[in-house]
Structure 1
Amino acid sequence: MAESITMPQLGESVTEGTIIRWLVQIGDKVKQYDPLCEVTTDKVTVEVPSVTSGVITEIVVSEGDTVQVGAVICRIETAEFSPAVWKLIQEHGLDSSQLKGTGRFGRITRNDVMEFLEKRGALVEDMGSPSEQGELEEKVPVTAVRKAIARRMSQSKQEIPHAWTMIECDVTSLVQFRNEIKEQFQRTEGVALTYFPFFMKAVTEALKEFPILNSQWAGEHIILKKEINLSFAVAADRALYTPVIRNADRMDIAGLARTVHQLARKARAGSLTIEDVSGGTFTVNNTGSFGSVLSAPIINYPQAAMLTFEAIVKRPALVDGMLVEIDKVNMCLSMDHRVLDGWVCGQFLQRIRNRLESFGTGTDLYSYSV
């Protein structure tokens, strides 16, 4: 059956949107949550995801056209298989995206499944060792999400003149404090207390003092954002998503921890909404979670900067004439050099460092201002 995809509501006061670019063509197969097109309004530019899986049968709105919220922009023939075909796919543990449907609008038939199984069986019988096969490379299909990421990253690097700086921070007191309270926090809140919400809190306070970091380039002027909406990166299913914590500066550390957990879980479950990923004004990334100690992030277009927090590592240091072991973390900032210069970015990073180094025993996780 055909499913009509409509122009979504992209904000409380938004009544229309303009199709910038279609990411699919007629005949393309899509899965639920795959991006269909880029839409812009006077407030945000977002990707519209598919609400169902199936085949694109009609594109109603052309690139550059502006339509009202609720108007049909394309139609999808839903990829519903008969119960018998679906059961057959499940019994053999197949991925339906690997199957080429020969039915109407690309639907998968029983014959399609059986032919795939026969070919796979013949392939297994013929397979020898890698050296016998001579297979030295493999072609991996590029998903729609990966294509969207590639396009965004290319746009950022081509349009934004990136500059980069790094500062080191002593977080020994923070590490000790977090180790003291993490188990109690887990029992009380039901989520793990990582270092990330502490990092976010320090960033939001610094952004209030240096609002130029919370901006974007707009040609003839620079747009200073009044709200502090933190985007953060979440890796899920071989893709990268950037959900947004709105008005992050109005949250305490505990609230940030809960919100990060909730949005990360939605990202990995593939249930993020347009509202969840739109409106970000500054991006932070916890690259240290997988061991990185140094990175040069690509700015989340069209924002003016992106900050990564690297792995916390133990290093020797002289304190009051004594050699001791302290915990250090690197903060790496990529900036849009059209908007930002080294001086203000250096001041911004120093303010974050001062805040992080002040966290320790006695820090109130439930205070708006810490």
Structure 2
Amino acid sequence: MSEKIVVPVLGESITEATVAKWLKKTGDAVEADEPIVELETDKVNLEVPSPITGVLTEINSQDGSTVEVGALLGSVSENGSAKVTPTEKKEKPKKVEETTPPENNVIKLDTNKKEPEIFEDKKTEIQKPKPLVLTEEVATNPEPVRENRNDTLSPAVRKIVTENNIDIGSVQGSGKNGQVLKGDLIGLMGANPKPSERKIQYGQEERIKMTRLRQTIAKRLKQAQENAALLTTFNEVDMTNIMEMRKENQQDFQSRYGIKLGFMSFFVKACVVALKHFPAVNAEIDGDEIIYKNYYNISFAVGTDKGLVVPVLRNADELSFADIEKNIKDISEKARDGKLTIEDLQGGTFTISNGGVYGSMLSTPILNLPQSGVLGMHNIVERPVVVEGEIKIRPIMYLALSYDHRIIDGKESVSFLKMIKENLEDPRRLFLDI
């Protein structure tokens, strides 16, 4: 009996995929529901399982080929025979026989070593380990100890080596007995650097086909620039109170809920409050109509090895701080493991992008269509600010709100971002819902 492996239904509006890689080879034994081939769509990667237990007898679509929903990928047979890898024959150890060295070839033994003890029965295969035997000539001429090159450096040279973290062992000295001089280090500045390892391995250029996910990212970002009236407004937030609140309550929060209290839950809560006050930021344009969303599904950008994905935290307005942190952790792990589903990526109404985790100080994020707004978080840097007439050092984060000016006016966008700032600087408001 043979069962076909076909491309499953991939999700709404997805009609084709690319065969990323086969996880099994022809002739391999497979179990029912065991992943057998990985497909890549313009949104997610998914694994197609074996329909039955048997042997992969045929592969009809090779790696890199484009396939449509319902297309034949291969076949699994119940009666097939799996490839058997022949086991290597292990040779029996050869019997080692003792021989007596010629009389004229005497081995001089170290006086501190005992002579090797040998069984009288020459046919016996097991022997006691022989101790190390050295000649007097070898014992009296040990390998000379290499001198530490740092000990021979002048103070000026040693200072340059320490300050610039130079591997002195790789420098050819021109002084007496190979001593490294100051001129040798200065000469390094004029030496031509070696080509990069990547250039050596792949040549002057390399051409690699974009993944379907990368193609989709490029297409959607270009669409956002062409179809929306993009504009960005900025503000800054003093993170002192949030950081103090996290520090004071972290241990109790973690012991009670089993998750660390991060920054994202504060930002999600602050965004939800502002979205309720400014519904246009949570809306989208459909032709000549505006669709106002009365639910709050917050998308958040996650960087993976295969590209940027934006999974959705659903009904964020109905989640507690602990629920938000747990959901974000679970969804982020699914994204990095490549286990997101189509449903995980659909239905977002507003996006948060945290470039600060990579060290970004300021950016202008691009809309995640068809949404009308995206908030950009950035790194936290201690900066001098004026507080009640005094200059103080405070942890400051720059915020950026990119929005579609066709639906959101400047007054709304600035007021929206200002409300987020106020709730973050006084996080008690988030608990009191004011």
Q: Same fold (TM over 0.5)?
A: yes
Trace 1:9-88 onto structure 2 (pairs within 5 A): 22=16, 24=18, 29=20, 34-36=39-41, 47=43, 50-52=46-48, 56=61, 73-77=70-74
- TM-superposed CA distance for 1:238, in Å, is 3.2
- Rate the CA distance shift 1:176–1:146 in 2: closer, same or farther, 3 A: same
Displacement of 1:259: 0.9
Which whole-Å CA distance do the structure 1 matches of 2:291 and 2:375 have between them?
19
Q: CA-to-partner distance for each residue in 1:46-90, whole Å, 9 max, x for gaps?
A: x475442886599997xxxxxxxxxx644433799x6669xxxxx
Which protein, 1 or 2, shows the higher relative CO under an 8 Å CA cutoff with sep ≥ 6? 1
AA at the equivalent of 2:266: F
| 8 Å CA contact retained: 1:52, 1:78 | no
Aligned to 1:92: none
Unaligned runs of 5+ in 1: 11-16, 38-46, 62-71, 86-127
CA–CA distance in 1 between the matches of 2:398 and 2:223? Answer: 27
Percent identity between the aligned chains? 33
Determine if the alignment matches structure 1 residue 3 to structure 2 residue 5.
yes
Alignment-derived partner of residue 101 in structure 2: none
Q: What's the CA shift for 1:173?
A: 0.9
Rounded to whole Å, the distance in 2 between the matches of 1:23 and 1:301 is: 22
Which residue of the partner structure matches residue 109 of structure 1?
Answer: none
Partner letter of residue 176 of structure 1?
E
- Asked if the contact 2:46/2:339 (under 8 Å) is kept, the reply is no
Partner of 1:304: 372
Instruction: Name the SS of the counterpart of 2:241 in structure 1.
Output: helix
Which amino acid in 2 is paired with 1:76? L
Q: 5 Å matches for 1:1-370?
A: 2-7=4-9, 22=16, 24=18, 29=20, 34-36=39-41, 47=43, 50-52=46-48, 56=61, 73-77=70-74, 135-359=203-427, 369=433
Native 8 Å contact 1:30 1:50 kept in 2 = no
**1:13 — aligned with what?**
none
Q: Distance in 1 between matches of 2:196 and 2:387?
A: 59
Unpaired stretches in structure 2, ≥5 consecutive residues: 23-36, 50-58, 86-194
TM-score by length of 2: 0.60
Q: How many Å separate the matches in 2 of 1:336 and 1:55?
A: 46
| Counterpart Cα distance in 1 of 2:60 and 2:365 | 35
Sort the Cα spacing of 1:229 and 1:132 in 2 relative to 1 into closer, same or farther, 3 A.
closer
Q: CA-to-partner distance for each residue in 1:220-259, whole Å, 9 max, x for gaps?
A: 1111112110000111223111111111011122211111
Does the CA contact (< 8 Å) of 2:4 and 2:75 recur in 1?
A: yes
Counterpart CA distance in 1 for 2:260 and 2:420 is: 23
SS in 1 for 2:398: strand
CA contact (8 A) 1:55 1:79 kept: no
Counterpart Cα distance in 1 of 2:258 and 2:421: 29
The 3-state SS of whatever aligns with 1:323 is strand
Of structures 1 and 2, the larger Rg is shown by 2
Maintained 8 Å contact 2:44/2:342: yes
Deviations along 1:31-50, one digit per CA (max 9) or x if unpaired, are 7664436xxxxxxxxx4754
Rounded Cα–Cα distance in structure 1 between residues aligned with 2:60 and 2:346: 26
Q: 1: CA distance between counterparts of 2:229 and 2:245?
A: 39
Higher helix share: 1
Given that residues 207 and 213 in structure 1 are in contact (C-alpha distance below 8 angstroms), is that contact kept between their aligned partners in structure 2?
yes
Q: Check 1:289–1:48 CA distance in 2 against 1; reply closer, same or farther (3 A cut).
A: closer
User: Closer, same or farther in 2 for the Cα pair 1:74/1:227, shift >3 Å?
Assistant: farther
Q: Secondary structure at the match of 2:348?
A: coil
Tell me if the contact between 2:44 and 2:340 (Cα under 8 Å) persists in the aligned partners.
no
Q: In 2, Cα distance between the equivalents of 1:309 and 1:132? A: 38
Q: Distance in 1 between matches of 2:281 and 2:350?
A: 8
Per-residue CA distance 1:186-237 (angstroms, 9 max, x = gap): 3333333221110111001110111110111112111111211000011122
Q: Determine the C-alpha separation between the residues in 1 that align with 2:76 and 2:359.
A: 41
Distance (whole Å) between structure 2 residues aligned to residue 316 and residue 78 of structure 1 = 67
Cα distance between partner residues in 2 of 1:286 and 1:280: 16
Does the C-alpha gap of structure 1 residues 175 and 33 become closer, same or farther in structure 2, counting only changes over 3 Å?
Answer: farther
Instruction: Please tell me whether the aligned partners of residues 29 and 55 of structure 1 are also in contact (alpha carbons under 8 angstroms).
Output: no
Match for 1:299: what amino acid? Answer: L
- The size of the alignment, in residue pairs, is 295
Q: Is the 8 A contact 2:236 2:396 kept in 1?
A: yes
